[in-house]
């Protein structure tokens, strides 16, 4: 954790634990006769805790711990924080991570040492810790879909380093080291209140989540795309502050990815000033190097290159926080694949006329030249990703998972041996799909990139949709209030009535925060840099890839993109390949 103050600026030997922790600032650390505390992050419900602590996150944690113990302290906090606490009286070390994992915590057990910190790479030097790369991590990054990178929340990029999962605590004392969850989503009954009532409750929760985060910073900025999520966040901030905000957007010369026209519909209502950050001409390899140094590991998708460039510009203008809409897709069934899980829930409930109507509306609103949509596709995909005989059992999309397995050298790691873990705490397919996204798929890798890239530029990331109160609330909202008439995010659209402009609120077409990486890998200097990487001795001797398969994929990718054919290209594969190779090369150079 990066900050100005370290406990006594030295390593302390406590019960065989090597502690070297940088708190977020001087208010995030505490040392007295009985406790050592460091907090990386922010507490947003300090007004509700009644601890008597007047300043500092560490003081709040100390007061709560003395009265309630560590586990109950974590439960009482609405925070985006990682916390370390050493109790000198009981000789116990506690580590805690916020409910969604906004702030990272890694730990490693070596020879008579327990080391922990925000960066996994820093722990490799601890005595007795295995420093080599985790081959499963490397192989998944090389040849699997990004959704599966975080399927093991306890994994890190290194063999001897573990990650503390979100919503968990670690306790270390003379009896050993133990991990346990302090928070999880319960299978509670769905709400039965009318849609109008739930929309009002949703609006109040979201506005409050934004307000609590907005007041924590002196000079926040906001990412803004053409979609509902980021627009809802910045509009809520305008509502609670009474002031328009600074908005930043990635823009492109490629109209397929550019959302300037959609963004323009909201600017008059929310933006004190709009800052379009053009992402077109840049040195890909130099930018990747900076990104990977900031992230301390390879980065999941090309979207985060746009975010990295944007964050650098935001920081240069003096802002201290960057708000975004992460979590909105997961909570509101905003991704296209949620349709199939909603369809499965309707079929299981015997609501067949409604199912047929939803499929017709889905085809009408979301047909695509590559991913053609019609009734048979809906049922085929539904049966592919759900088990119709077992309510709630979600099947992994193995076609997506295994597409590039043949390009990975089985002598390095046999990806066929990797078993995807799916959690099924609910009887609803959509709820289980959402749970998987929050815990093991989309959310962890996105939060990691947001945290590290904003921190690298001296800022904090804020995602109000991931306030745990909103998560718990939305898990009790019926599926037909999220998807109806072929349109996603229905309850959010209703909740934002009067806050968002109708043109934004009612927009169905979705571009998303993507990047034209397919072009980067099909011509020009970035393409040549990729070719040079594939021809390098280091890459070819590493033994991770089947080299002939990689060459074939690049030739095919180039033909597809240059021809303009309506076919899937291999952009994601080569983005992951370059990230992995740059990361490995830079580790070797240290």
Q: How confident is the model at residue 523 (pLDDT cuts 50, 70, 90)?
A: confident
Give the pLDDT confidence score for residue 490 in this predicted structure.
98
Q: Angle at the Cα of 215 (from 214 to 221), degrees rounded to 5?
A: 35
Q: What is the pLDDT of residue 514?
A: 67
Task: Give the percent of the chain with pLDDT over 90.
Answer: 84
Q: Please say if the pLDDT value at position 8 is more than 80.
A: no
Q: Do 447 and 428 contact (CB within 8 A), yes or no?
A: no
For the stretch 225-275, pLDDT in tens is 999 999 999 999 999 999 999 999 999 988 878 899 999 999 999 999 999
Element spanning 106, H or E: strand 106-110
pLDDT at 133: 97
**Residue 242, Ramachandran bin (φ over 0: left; ψ between -120 and 50: alpha; else beta):** left
Q: Would you say residue 169 has pLDDT above 90? A: yes
Q: Which of 79, 77, 103, 57 is nearest to 455 (CA)?
A: 103
Least Cα distance to 157 among 128, 122, 133 occurs for 133
- Which comes out higher in pLDDT, residue 331 or 5? 331
Buried b (16+ CB within 10 A) or exposed e, 102-111: bbbbbbbbbe
CB 26 within 8 Å of CB 4:
yes
CB of 269 closer than 8 Å to CB of 240: no
Q: Where are the beta strands (DSSP E) in 12-87?
A: 12-14, 17-19, 29-31, 35-40, 82-87
**Residue 208 vs residues 203, 211, 230, 327: alpha-carbon distances, Å:** 8, 5, 16, 16
Closest CA relative to residue 259, chosen from 550, 512, 540: 512
Q: What is the mean pLDDT of residues 552-573?
A: 92
Average pLDDT of span 196-225: 98
R_g of the chain, CA atoms, integer Å = 24
What integer best gives the mean pLDDT of the chain? 92
Q: In whole angstroms, what is the distance from residue 416 CA to residue 210 CA?
A: 43
The CATH number of 7-181 is 3.60.20.10
**Residue appearing with tokens 């708000």:** 323
Give the Cα separation of 419 and 435 in Å (integer).
Answer: 18
Give which of 508, 588, 505, 581 is closest to 547, Cα–Cα: 581
- Provide the sign of the torsion angle of the four alpha carbons 283, 286, 292, 293, taken in this order: negative
Q: 260 Cβ partners below 8 Å, 6+ apart?
A: 249, 251, 276
The torsion of the CA quartet 500, 502, 504, 506, rounded to 10 degrees, works out to 120
Residues whose CB is less than 8 angstroms from the CB of residue 368 and which lie 6 or more positions away in sequence, other chains included: none
pLDDT reported for residue 52: 80
DSSP 539-563: HHHH-SB-HHHHHHHHHHHHHHHHH
Q: What CATH architecture does domain 195-276+286-331+440-505 belong to?
A: 3-Layer(aba) Sandwich (3.40)
- SS3 state at 573: helix
Q: In Å, how far are 103, 113, 174, 256, 348 from 15, measured between CA atoms?
A: 25, 9, 7, 57, 55
String of DSSP letters for 485-499: TTBS-HHHHHHTBTT
What was the pLDDT predicted at 58? 95
Size of the chain in residues: 590
Contacting residues for 117 by C-beta, under 8 A, at least 6 apart = 1, 20, 21, 105, 106, 123
Residue 357 has pLDDT above 90, yes or no: yes
Rounded-to-10 torsion of CA 145, 146, 152, 156: 130
| Other residues' Cβ atoms within 10 Å of the Cβ of residue 153 | 17
Is residue 567 very low, low, confident or very high in pLDDT (cuts 50, 70, 90)?
confident
Q: What distance in Å separates the CA atoms of residue 102 and residue 454, rounded to the nearest whole number?
A: 12
Which of 514 and 65 is assigned the larger pLDDT? 65
Instruction: Report angle CA 151, 420, 424 to the nearest 5 degrees.
Output: 85
How many other CB atoms are there within 10 angstroms of residue 177's CB atom?
15
Model confidence pLDDT, tens digit, residues 267-307: 999 999 999 999 988 889 999 999 999 999 999 999 999 99
Give the C-alpha separation, 452 to 450, whole Å.
Answer: 6
Task: Name the token pair of 401.
Answer: 């998972």
Residue 16's pLDDT is what? 45
Task: Tally Cβ neighbours within 10 Å of residue 285.
Answer: 15
Tens of pLDDT, residue by residue over 104-126, are: 999 999 888 899 999 999 999 89
DSSP output for 171-234: EEETTEEEEEES-----PPPP-S-HHHHHHHHHHHHHHHHHHHHTT-SSEEEE--SSHHHHHHH
Distances (CA, A) of 379 to 277, 281, 342, 385, 507: 41, 43, 12, 10, 26
Q: Collapsing DSSP states into helix, strand and coil, what is residue 413?
A: coil
* pLDDT, tens digit, 9 for 90 and up, residues 329-342: 999 999 999 999 99
Cβ-in-10-Å burial (0-12, 13-18, 19+) of 9 comes to: exposed
- Distance set, CA 39 to CA 67, 105, 248, 329, 573 (Å): 18, 11, 29, 29, 37
DSSP code for 326: T
Q: What is the pLDDT of residue 23?
A: 46
């Amino acid at each position: 954790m990066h900050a100005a103050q370290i406990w006594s600026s030295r390593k302390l030997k406590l019960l065989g634990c090597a502690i070297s922790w940088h708190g977020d600032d001087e208010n995030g650390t505490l040392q007295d006769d009985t406790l050592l505390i460091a907090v990386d992050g922010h507490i947003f419900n300090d007004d509700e805790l009644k601890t008597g602590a007047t300043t500092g996150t560490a003081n709040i944690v100390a007061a709560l711990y003395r009265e309630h113990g560590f586990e109950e302290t974590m439960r009482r906090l609405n925070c985006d924080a990682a916390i370390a606490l050493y109790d000198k009286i009981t000789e116990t070390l506690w580590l805690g991570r916020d409910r969604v994992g906004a702030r990272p915590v890694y730990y490693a057990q070596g020879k008579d040492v327990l080391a922990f910190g925000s960066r996994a790479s820093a722990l490799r030097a601890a005595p007795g810790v295995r420093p080599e790369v985790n081959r499963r991590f490397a192989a998944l990054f090389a040849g699997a879909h990004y959704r599966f990178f975080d399927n093991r929340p306890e994994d890190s990029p290194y063999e001897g380093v573990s990650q503390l999962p979100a919503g968990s605590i670690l306790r270390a004392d003379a009896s050993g080291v133990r991990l346990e969850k302090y928070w999880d989503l319960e299978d509670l009954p769905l709400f039965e209140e009318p849609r109008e009532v739930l929309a009002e409750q949703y609006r109040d929760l979201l506005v409050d989540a934004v307000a609590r985060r907005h007041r924590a910073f002196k000079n926040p900025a906001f990412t803004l795309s053409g979609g509902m999520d980021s627009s809802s966040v910045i509009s809520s901030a305008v509502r609670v502050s009474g002031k328009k905000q600074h908005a930043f957007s990635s823009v492109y010369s490629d109209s397929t990815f550019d959302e300037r026209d959609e963004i323009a519909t909201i600017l008059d209502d929310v933006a004190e000033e709009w800052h379009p950050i053009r992402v077109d001409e840049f040195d890909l390899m130099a930018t990747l190097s900076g990104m990977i140094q900031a992230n301390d590991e390879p980065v999941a998708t090309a979207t985060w290159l746009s975010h990295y460039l944007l964050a650098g510009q935001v920081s240069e203008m003096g802002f201290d926080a960057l708000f975004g809409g992460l979590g909105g897709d997961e909570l509101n069934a905003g991704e296209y694949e949620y349709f199939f899980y909603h369809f499965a829930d309707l079929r299981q409930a015997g609501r067949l006329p409604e199912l047929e109507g939803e499929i017709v509306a889905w085809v009408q609103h979301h047909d695509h030249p590559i991913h053609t949509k019609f009734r048979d596709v809906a049922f085929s995909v539904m049966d592919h990703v759900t088990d119709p005989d077992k309510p709630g059992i979600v099947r992994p999309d193995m076609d997506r998972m295994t597409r590039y397995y043949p390009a990975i050298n089985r002598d390095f790691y046999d990806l066929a041996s990797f078993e995807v873990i799916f959690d099924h705490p609910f009887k609803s397919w959509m709820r289980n799909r959402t749970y998987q996204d929050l815990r093991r798929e989309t959310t962890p890798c996105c939060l990691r990139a947001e945290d590290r890239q904003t921190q690298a530029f001296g800022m904090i990331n804020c995602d109000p949709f991931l306030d745990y109160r909103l998560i718990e609330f939305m898990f009790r909202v019926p599926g037909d209030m999220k998807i109806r008439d072929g349109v996603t995010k229905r309850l959010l659209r209703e909740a934002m009535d009067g806050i968002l402009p109708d043109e934004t609120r009612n927009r169905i077409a979705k571009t998303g925060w993507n990047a034209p990486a397919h072009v980067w890998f099909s011509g020009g200097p970035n393409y040549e840099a990729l070719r040079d990487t594939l021809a390098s001795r280091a890459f070819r001797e590493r033994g991770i890839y089947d080299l002939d398969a990689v060459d074939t994929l690049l030739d095919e990718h180039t033909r597809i993109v240059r021809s303009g054919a309506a076919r899937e290209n291999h952009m994601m594969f080569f983005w992951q390949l370059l990230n992995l190779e740059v990361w490995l090369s830079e580790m070797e150079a240290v």
